[in-house]
């Protein structure tokens, strides 16, 4: 069986890069905190021994305030890995060393890795690892996960710890006398409890004094009551933290020497990027560039795929002749799946633009810039970071809320996440905007995305006023250094997110396309107006008549509940049974929609029922199906009202 080695550290210190370097994995490495929301595992065989590495979510402390901290702490306690490697950033060591002290209090066999040593050297920062080893009592390795420096040494040191019988890491920090007295008393009581023997008594005692809710509960279940007042807990917490920082400062003075004179590149850029007045227009400009890239730059590639699909359809029709099988392949599969595949370049383009901003280190700055605005919405920049992930897919956005410590803020973020326009909705917008707003595509898409953000903001205000009153926890976040995006990491980012879209095209969209074809073709062999799909759409049409939606649009909305791209597949078939060319599809849509109806439809798609995967994610992350159904009902109501407003106001203007 493989020995387990856990990687622990602050967010964005290069844990995942190191994990990749150690295991040969290809996990995407983000340049912003909160990306590893669940643990990742990889195996490495080193000098004949199998080692399982576990990459845990980035945390600032073991306080178990956020879900990330809980996951990490529980993993270290329950899974008891043979070695815990604490990774710290060479240019920002203090907070990482604080975490190291906490881990050292918790268990033995801990190692320290100082990562990004190459960048530190470039900036004139020199680290004496022997001093760190002396003061913390742990093996220390200086690494650069990017260049691979120190990785072999790290593997050898880990192997040494796994094979030697010694117990490593015995340094304990001494707290002020009044704290030590208390700790000793509590330790004595804890030692008498057999059920607590798997824990380090001193760690439990320190956490007890700090007022850690989980530890208090654990000790209470063993008959140890908390007789310390809240104020006293606060006092002990402060004394303990001060002593730890004091210790770190002393060590840093001896272990780190710096010759930094000029301002750093990141400092210089941040002075402007995070400026209180310039920050928001810069953010909006970058978002506009991203959407311009998504539409204008990627349009020729979409057209190429479009022509390819049309040619394939023509060829198959010639080869196969007329009949239901031809219609199934050409109208059903190529029309349905191909109709969605046409937008692959746009989706990959959007991920490329977002990936560039993330890789460059801009996205955390955007979170920082909008934090003040978010605070007014009773959310924080941390929520924004989760929401922005929703541009790709709402499911990881909802999963990433695990890093939000405040349960109120977390639940609101989960519930408003589906309003952020995911990549699945982009093909619907592109199809309708391309058909009805020619020449203004990039600007329209930008406005639609902005509107989805406004809708998210308004919803969070509403949720906060009605159901979850409270103040958000202020955002405290380390801004990562700016870095030039590497092509490899950028491609990995695009592929990681884009492949999900391709997988859907080959699975759910293919199945849905065949199903829609069956419902559209039968019972009268291709007469769409008397098909089962027409009956279904026409049955619900009266509900949507005030919005100006005909039965074809209603049918598309029904199928779109499975996955939003299916709306496009449905249109491709319902409008394309007689003519498979995409230009004709645009013309057919332009003939059936007015610009107002198209806008109402776009906003309906933006807001209505999240896809099945998102509904399941809401249920699992909120811990209740009640919230998932509530989200469905709420989004459906919002979509209807929004579309109705557009139709009424648009009708008045027109």
Contacts to another protein by CB under 8 A: 262-265, 267-269, 271-273, 275, 277-278, 281-282, 284-286, 288-289, 292-293, 296-301, 303-304, 442-443, 446
Side-chain half-sphere exposure of 145, counting CA atoms within 13 A: 23
In the bound complex, what is the minimum distance in angstroms from residue 32's beta carbon to another protein?
18
Residue placing its CB nearer to another protein in the complex, 170 or 583: 583
In the bound complex, what is the minimum distance in angstroms from residue 572's beta carbon to another protein?
21
In the bound complex, what is the minimum distance in angstroms from residue 261's beta carbon to another protein?
11
Bridge-based pairing of strands 49-55 and 40-46 is: antiparallel
Is residue 421 within 8 Å of residue 578, measured between CB atoms? no
Residue placing its CB nearer to another protein in the complex, 443 or 515: 443
Nearest Cα neighbor of 627 from 639, 637, 617 is 617
Nearest Cα neighbor of 353 from 446, 453, 431, 267 is 446
In the bound complex, what is the minimum distance in angstroms from residue 338's beta carbon to another protein?
18
With the C-alpha atoms ordered 85, 76, 13, 102, is the resulting torsion angle positive or negative? negative
In the bound complex, what is the minimum distance in angstroms from residue 448's beta carbon to another protein?
13
Residue placing its CB nearer to another protein in the complex, 176 or 281: 281
Q: Is 259 exposed, middle or buried (0-12, 13-18, 19+ CB in 10 A)?
A: exposed
Residue placing its CB nearer to another protein in the complex, 194 or 259: 259
In the bound complex, what is the minimum distance in angstroms from residue 29's beta carbon to another protein?
21
Is residue 88 within 8 Å of residue 115, measured between CB atoms? yes
With the C-alpha atoms ordered 86, 90, 94, 95, is the resulting torsion angle positive or negative? negative
Residue placing its CB nearer to another protein in the complex, 362 or 384: 362
Nearest Cα neighbor of 553 from 653, 432, 438 is 432
Token readout for 338 is: 């191909």
Give the chain's radius of gyration (CA, Å): 28
Bridge-based pairing of strands 3-9 and 83-89 is: parallel
Residue placing its CB nearer to another protein in the complex, 269 or 312: 269
CA distance 362 to 273: 8
Residue placing its CB nearer to another protein in the complex, 154 or 350: 350
Is residue 4 within 8 Å of residue 79, measured between CB atoms? yes
Q: How far is CA 133 from the centre of its chain?
A: 36
Q: In what order do the strands lie in the sheet with 40-46?
A: 40-46, 49-55, 3-9, 83-89, 110-115, 139-142
In the bound complex, what is the minimum distance in angstroms from residue 89's beta carbon to another protein?
20
In the bound complex, what is the minimum distance in angstroms from residue 212's beta carbon to another protein?
42
In the bound complex, what is the minimum distance in angstroms from residue 389's beta carbon to another protein?
22
CA distance 444 to 429: 9
Residue placing its CB nearer to another protein in the complex, 466 or 484: 484
For residue 113, give the 3-state DSSP assignment: strand
Residue placing its CB nearer to another protein in the complex, 170 or 268: 268
């Amino acid at each position: 069986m493989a020995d387990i080695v856990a990687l622990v550290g602050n967010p964005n210190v290069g844990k995942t890069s190191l994990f990749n370097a150690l295991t040969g994995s290809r996990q995407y490495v983000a340049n912003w905190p909160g990306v590893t929301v669940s643990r990742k595992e990889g195996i490495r065989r080193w000098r004949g021994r199998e080692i399982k590495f576990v990459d845990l979510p980035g945390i600032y402390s073991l306080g178990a305030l956020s879900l990330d901290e809980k996951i990490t702490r529980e993993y270290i306690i329950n899974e008891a890995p043979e070695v815990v490697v604490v990774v710290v950033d060479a240019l920002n060591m203090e907070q990482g060393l604080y975490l190291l002290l906490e881990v050292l209090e918790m268990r033995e066999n801990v190692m320290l890795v100082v990562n990004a040593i190459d960048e530190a050297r470039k900036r004139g920062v020199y680290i004496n690892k022997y001093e760190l080893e002396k003061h913390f009592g742990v093996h220390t390795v200086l690494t650069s996960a990017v260049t691979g420096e120190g990785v072999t040494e790290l593997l050898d040191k880990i192997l040494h710890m796994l094979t030697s019988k010694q117990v490593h890491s015995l340094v304990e920090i001494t707290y002020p006398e009044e704290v030590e007295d208390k700790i000793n008393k509590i330790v004595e009581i804890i030692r008498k409890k057999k059920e607590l023997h798997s824990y380090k008594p001193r760690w439990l005692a320190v956490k007890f004094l700090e007022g850690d809710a989980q530890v208090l509960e654990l000790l209470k279940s063993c008959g140890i009551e908390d007789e310390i007042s809240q104020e006293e807990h606060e006092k002990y917490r402060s004394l303990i933290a001060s002593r730890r920082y004091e210790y770190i400062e002393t060590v840093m003075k001896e272990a780190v020497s710096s010759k930094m004179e000029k301002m750093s590149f990141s400092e210089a850029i941040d002075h402007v990027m995070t400026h209180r007045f310039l920050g928001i227009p810069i953010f909006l400009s970058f978002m506009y560039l991203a959407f311009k890239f998504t539409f204008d730059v990627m349009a020729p590639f979409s057209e190429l795929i479009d022509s390819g699909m049309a040619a394939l359809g023509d060829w198959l029709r010639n080869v196969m002749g007329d009949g239901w099988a031809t219609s199934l392949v050409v109208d059903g599969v190529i029309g349905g799946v191909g109709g969605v595949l046409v937008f692959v370049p746009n989706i990959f383009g959007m991920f490329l633009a977002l990936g560039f901003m993330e890789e460059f280190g801009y996205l955390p700055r955007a979170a920082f810039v909008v934090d003040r605005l978010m605070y007014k919405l009773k959310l924080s920049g941390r929520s924004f970071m989760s929401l922005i992930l929703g541009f790709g897919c709402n499911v990881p956005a909802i999963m990433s809320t695990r890093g939000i410590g405040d349960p109120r803020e977390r639940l609101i973020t989960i519930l408003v996440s589906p309003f952020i326009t995911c990549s699945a909705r982009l093909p619907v917008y592109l199809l309708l905007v391309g058909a009805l707003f020619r020449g203004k595509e990039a600007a329209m898409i930008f406005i639609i995305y902005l509107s989805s953000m406004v809708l998210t903001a308004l919803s969070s205000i509403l949720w906060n006023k009605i159901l979850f009153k409270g103040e958000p926890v202020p955002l405290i976040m380390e801004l990562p250094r700016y870095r030039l995006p590497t092509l490899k990491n950028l491609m990995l980012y695009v592929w990681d997110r884009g492949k999900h879209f391709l997988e859907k095209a080959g699975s759910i969209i293919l199945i849905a396309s065949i199903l829609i074809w069956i419902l559209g073709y039968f019972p009268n062999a291709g007469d769409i107006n008397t098909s089962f799909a027409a009956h279904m759409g026409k049955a619900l049409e009266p509900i949507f008549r005030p919005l100006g939606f005909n039965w074809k649009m209603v049918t598309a909305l029904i199928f779109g509940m499975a996955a939003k791209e299916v709306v496009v597949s449905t249109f491709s078939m319902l409008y394309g049974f007689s003519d498979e060319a995409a230009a004709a599809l645009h013309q057919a849509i332009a003939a059936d929609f007015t610009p107002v109806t198209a806008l109402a439809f776009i906003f309906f798609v933006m807001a209505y029922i999240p896809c099945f995967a998102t509904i399941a994610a809401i249920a699992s992350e909120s811990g209740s199906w009640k919230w998932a159904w509530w989200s469905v009902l709420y989004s459906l109501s919002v979509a209807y009202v929004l579309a109705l407003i557009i139709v009424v106001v648009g009708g008045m203007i027109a």
